[in-house]
Amino acid sequence: MGTPLNWIAFNLFIAIAIALDLRVFHRRPHKIKIREAAIASFGWIAVSVLFGFGVFYFCGPSRPSNSLPAT
C-alpha cells in the first residue's frame, strides 16, 4: 500500500491542487466561458497525466490485477 511518506506526499499534493484551484485560479466569481473552461480542463488533465507518469516512474509497472478489486 505504500509508505506513510507516500501517503503524506499524495495528500499534500491533493491539498495544494485544491487550494490552487479554489483560492488562486478562481478568486473572482464570474461567468466562465468555454475557452477558459477548456484551458482549465486541459491543465488539470495534464497535471493528472504527469502524476501518473510519476507513479509509473517511482513505483514501476505492475499488473493491472494488482490494483483492481477481486471480483
CA distance 50 to 44: 10
Region for 18 from its dihedrals, namely left if φ exceeds 0, alpha if ψ lies in -120 to 50, beta otherwise: alpha
For 3-52, write each residue's pLDDT tens digit. Answer: 888 889 889 989 999 998 888 877 788 898 999 999 989 999 998 889 88
Instruction: Write the DSSP assignment of 2-69 as a string of letters.
Output: --HHHHHHHHHHHHHHHHIIIIIIT-S--PPPHHHHHHHHHHHHHHHHHHHHHHHHHH----GGGTSP
Judge whether 17 and 47 are in contact, CB under 8 Å.
yes
For 10-22, write each residue's pLDDT tens digit. Answer: 899 899 999 988 8
Model pTM above 0.85: no
